Structure formats: C-alpha cells, structure tokens
Structure 1
Amino acid sequence: MTERRRAIVVIGTGAFSRALCRALAGLTLPPGTEVHVVGRTPGAAVAVCEAAHAAWPEPGAPAFYPVDLPLSPDIDVRWLLRAVRPHTVVVCASLQSPAEFRASDSGWARLVRTAGFAVTLPLQAALAAPIATACADADPPVTMVNACFPDAVNPTLRARGLPVLCGLGNVGSLAEAVYTGLGVTDPGRVKLFAHHAHLHEPADPELEARCWLDDEPYPDVGGLLRPVRTGSRTAVNDAGATVSAEVVRTLADGGRWIGHLPGPLGLPGGFPVQLEGTALTLRLPPGPSLDAHLSWTHRVAVLDGADVGVDGTVRFAPQATVALREHLPDLPATLMPQELPEICRRLLDLRHRLR
C-alpha cells in the first residue's frame, strides 16, 4: 500500500472551482497540504492557483499546483493519483457548464431551458464516472466528492458500483440562506431537505423545500430562500464554495462537520448530514422516514426534467421527453445508468448541431 501525501486534487477551473480554491486557501489545513488543480486548457489551472495564492498569501496556506489535462469522456487520472497520492478528489468539471444556459440563446440553450437542466445529466456524469473508477482502483482508495449536479449524478454512480461520498453546493448554498434568515449559528438546529431544483421557487407550494428547526417543521421555507433565489449566481457559488471548503478540510484533518450536502452516500437530492473524517451519516428529523423523504424528492426532481431513483434509473419528465424527441425521436424515456455514456455521445452531437 502506498502512503498518502497531504494532497487534494480539484478537477476543473470554472467559477465553482475558483471559488472553492480561494476558500481553501483561507482555511487552516494540515501542515504541508497541497492542492493540485486540473484544467482542460493550458493556463487555466495556473490562473486558478495564482488567484488562490494571491487571496491568502500568508505563510502556512496550502500550496497550489496546476495540472494541464484534457477533460474528455476517456479521461485517465490514474497516473495523477499515483504521482500525487491524494486523500480526496473533488470533481468540479463536466462536459456542460450551467453558465451557458444563463448567457446563451442558442437552440441548445433553449432546448435545455424548455426540457429542464436534468437532460444534461449524461454530460454531467461523463467525467465523474471514470474519475470515480480511478479513485476506487487507487492504492489506497481515494475519497471522491462530486460538485457537478450531484443530486442526480451521484445516484447513477452508486448504482454502477462507483464510490462517491457526497456532492457539494446546491443544498449547501440554500442552507446558508436558511441559517441567515433564522439567525441560527448552530447548523445542527436546522434540517433542510432541498434539491437542485429548489435553486428556483417551485410553482406548486407542496414541492417547496422542507425545513425543520429544532426538530419542528418550519412553515415558510420559501421566504428564507428568497434572498438566495433572487441574488446573483456568483453569490450562490461563493456561498456554496465556502461551505464546500469546510467539508474538504474535514476530510483532510479528520474533524467533525455538521451541515447539508447534496447526493450524500449516492442518494438523490440534498440532506442534512454529519461528517466525521470520511464517515458520513444523515441527520433525519423525527417523524418522516428516509423513504418518505426520498418519495418527496422524486416528485421535486421532475421539476428539473428527470427523476433519478436510488437504483440509478433515470426517468425523463414528460416535458423533457417531448422536447428531446423533437431532435432524437428514438430516445427512451427511461435510462439505465450504464446507458448514459452512449446518450452522452448523442447529446454532444445534438448540442453541436443546435449551437
């Protein structure tokens, strides 16, 4: 068995990755911690590392090192894991940036806005799957967390037998707004259940996020979430990245953290959790069972365009199926996890045509 170094690998150089690295630079991590940032284009990882160093230049801050590596569906990070020997890999890169749908009016952007963000699930999972395989095969195995649509991607990974501890962002960002709105400084008092779809207000109040304060249901969750929903996406990213950095620090130093994470243990949606080192447990309120929470989550997920079962089965919502079949008439309404790579290739071709 090869001894681990005090190293973290962050794959991706987009807005979330940049914010995460800046946040990591400001935390007290174990002495000698290295953060290796992987970028798909020359110079991108260098820019992230330089920004992190500039934000926190004090002695004792973690050292950031850039790595250039093409990020494609056949990505191979095994050599990097052997060279760096990290304890944690954070996946912040996919084949589809969410930012495109806020900035573009191409045919592809219009399709996704009509069908729902979850139709990009095969593109979101395309890099996470081979990276998870490499983490499982490493000696010793490496903990992987996934920040790319973890509410839906993580269940598909778990169903394929691939390890993913949890996700980052989404419910974590929403929970920060809840703490602020309630004036709560102890996250353990709050138990929030929220899906990626809850970044926007649902039309049906029955599908609004659910919250317990001191184990009592809180009635106006939508009011607490209004500031984050009407704020800038940059603010959402920054809030999620700050929380995520604390999660990564806990994985690094073996400490204890209480909060909220998406896709924990490969479950669909976002849950209240407790993390001790790499041991992750759910914090459920009294009353509804886990199955009851999952049943509600499946209903909410349809707002995003697809529901992912705990077995990884992907079921496109009616509006998503209709929109996609205008371009891919034979696309099935239900996908098994192992079918995602082929659908990814077809969606990439479709995106190229519609852009």
Structure 2
Amino acid sequence: MTAIAPAGIAVVGGGSLARSICYSLAVAADPPPGTVTVLARSARVADEIACIAGARAATSASPTRFTAEALDASDRNTTARVLARIQPRVVINCASLQSPWESSRAPTAWTDMLAAGGFGIGLPLHAVLAREVARAIHDSGIPALFVNACYPDAVNPLLHAEGLPVFCGVGNSATLSASLHAMVRPPAGKRLRVLAHHAHLHAPAQPSEEARVWLDDQPVTSVGELLAGHRACSREELNAVTGHTAAVLAARLAAGTEVCADLPGPLGMPGGYPVRIHDDRIALDLPNGLTAEGAVAWQMRMAEHDGVVVTPSGNVRFGEQAHQALSAQLTDIPRDYEAQDMELLAQQLLGLREKLRAEPPA
C-alpha cells in the first residue's frame, strides 16, 4: 500500500497568534497550502477560527480550505492519532500554558514577579505543550516539519536536547526582521541577515548589546533607531506581523519552496539566526566572518536579559535576578536544571501562579 504524502498545515492552539496565522494563510499563502486544520482545545474556538479564515479565503478567491477539530494538546496519544489521520506537512504549535498578554489584561502579583525576574521565568510553562506536540509528531510517524511559536529561542533547544523533532520557530527574530526589511528595503538580490534574541523585542540597556544586522556581509548600523518604531508598537498589534511572517513561512514549507529567512530556534539552537531552507533541510546562513560557535555564544549572552539561558545541550540556568524573584516564593527552586526537569518545574510554577494571581499587583 502506498503511503499518503503529507500535505497542508495544522495549527495547534486557539489564541490570538493562531488566529493571526490562519487569517494570513487565508489571503497571503503563496502557494496556497490546500487545507489548514485548526486544532484548539475548545471546539467553538476552533470552528470560529476556521469559519472566519474560510470566509477570508473565499473572498480573496483563494483555494485554501479550513477545517477544525477540538484537541487538547496535552493529550499526546490523541494528538498523535489526529496528526496521523490528517497528515499535515507542517505543524505549527501556538499552545502554551502562559499567555503573553496576562500582564496587560489581568495584572497581579504573578505578573509583577515575571516583570521583576524576566520573561524566561515562564520557560517551563511555554515548553510543556510544545513538548507534547513534538512527542505526538514523533509517535504519529509522519514526516511533518514542527514549527514552534511558543518562546522558541529557549524552548526549541530543550526539545532538541531530548531528541524530539523541532524544525524551527516563528516570531521574535522573524518579527524583528520583518520590521527591519520595511525600514531598510534591501535592493533586489541583496540579503538582509538578522541575528537577534527574544530579548531584543525590547531595546537593550547598552547599545553594544543591540541585535546584529547585515546587508549581505556588511554590518548595518543604527539598528536601535531602525527598530524604534517597531518597539513603540503594542505587542498585541505586532502579533499581526508575527502571524503574517509565520503564515508566509508555513505556506512555503508546505510547498517545499526554498526559503531565506531569519528564524528563532532553527535546529533547536538558542536564539534567532539567518537561515536557508531547501529540500526540508535548514542551515545557518551567517555573514562572512561569523562562525556558528560565535553566533551561539553571543545568543547565550543575550539570553541573560530574558532571565534564563539554555545551552544547545539542554542545560537551563536562571539568571541571578530571575532566581532571586523565584526563590523568594519557592525556596527549593533550582538555579540550574535539565530538559527532563521541565514538567516538574511547570507544576511548581502553576501552583505558584494560582497563589499569586489571588494577590493584587504592587
């Protein structure tokens, strides 16, 4: 019996990023991916996203069809069965246990702690569901490309360290790259290359720690000025750019088109890099004079600003400020841990979050 060749895209999650990706896939996918399956925990949410995206596609005369299924991403076995049945070429994970919008929508003592210690404190909460989806892809046996949208700069190295399939991430350096392209407008045939970390969504304290950008192999100066407009936008508005860049990438991956892009977490590496994708293979596309080892070492220094550093081998170390913020609440929280410890740490953080959410912000 001939095996079914995977096709189309599966989007896991029902939050704002999953919506943004699907709404862009409806009108901007080139070539159109055929079928996009929305897999959200709530059947109502999944149906709603598919309905709106389908209407957008039809209005734009796009042949892309959207379907929906209820799916709890924490249920690895069910996820594997669904993926084996629908056979997606690309799986995009947008499901996380921690919303990036909580600090603006529902501030509490919990969001105060995240602000004090750094975004990286929540790493285990972003990693748990991504890990289950990666395991489900492995168990399903399909050769899907796994694209993780949940803190890929730090989560993807954890998945890679456990031998789980992870192709790349979206957002973060890709979103910064989109804004830089809008400002620089590189001439035809010129390659803009961006080396950046999730921490660079905000301006660094020192200009010397700014994201690094090249036009072909020539360094671009005044990067902070080029990103000033981007950083002045609200994160929720920027979600439209993140979703759009993810949709463009996913459509090209599903079609097997060659891609040059700036992506977080390629091949499970920490931070974001310029890459080239061809025949389902992804490779770094660094400027002359920058080695992979040098790029990774730089990324790990930048990760300190997020409060957590993840090595390519999956060792995790909380920064001093992050560890102080956590240990003030959890006296036995480790400073260092390994990829396999993240589920236990996630349970500790969920318990702490429940307690701190009951307390008002400072």
Answer yes or no: same fold by TM over 0.5: yes
Tell me if 1:17 matches 2:45: no
List aligned pairs for 1:23-172, cutoff 5 A.
Answer: 23-28=24-29, 33-57=34-58, 58-72=60-74, 76-172=78-174
Distance 1:217 1:27 in 2: 31
Residues 186/343 of structure 1: CA separation in 2 closer, same or farther (3 Å cut):
farther
Residues 313/76 of structure 1: CA separation in 2 closer, same or farther (3 Å cut):
farther
Q: Which runs of 5+ in 2 are unaligned?
A: 358-362
Residues 176/62 of structure 1: CA separation in 2 closer, same or farther (3 Å cut):
same
Q: Which runs of 5+ in 1 are unaligned?
A: none
Residues 74/255 of structure 1: CA separation in 2 closer, same or farther (3 Å cut):
closer
TM-score by length of 2: 0.93
Letter in 2 for 1:37: V
Q: Is the 8 A contact 1:19 1:242 kept in 2?
A: yes
Within the candidate set 239, 259, 270, 1:257 is matched to 259
Within the candidate set 257, 275, 278, 2:277 is matched to 275
Give the SS at the match of 1:206. Answer: helix
Partner of 2:319: 317
Within the candidate set 327, 330, 352, 1:328 is matched to 330
Distance 2:347 2:282 in 1: 34
Partner of 2:360: none
Letter in 2 for 1:312: G
Letter in 1 for 2:147: V
Q: Is the 8 A contact 2:84 2:142 kept in 1?
A: no
1:216-272 Cα distance to aligned partner (Å, 9 max, x none): 111211111111100122332111221111211111111112111000110000101
Distance 2:4 2:170 in 1: 27
Q: Is the 8 A contact 1:94 1:148 kept in 2?
A: yes
- Offset of 1:49 from its aligned partner? 0.9
What is the alpha-carbon root mean square deviation over aligned residues? 1.8
Letter in 2 for 1:315: R
Letter in 2 for 1:345: Q
Q: Is the 8 A contact 1:35 1:65 kept in 2?
A: yes
Distance 1:133 1:151 in 2: 19
Partner of 1:245: 247
* Ranges of 4+ aligned residues in structure 1 off by more than 3 Å: 27-32, 71-76, 185-188
Q: How many residue pairs align between the two structures?
A: 355
Distance 1:101 1:86 in 2: 34
What is the identity percentage for the equivalent residue pairs of Structure 1 and Structure 2?
38
Give the SS at the match of 2:23. Answer: helix
List aligned pairs for 1:184-263, cutoff 5 A.
Answer: 184=186, 186=188, 189-263=191-265
Q: Is the 8 A contact 1:252 1:277 kept in 2?
A: no
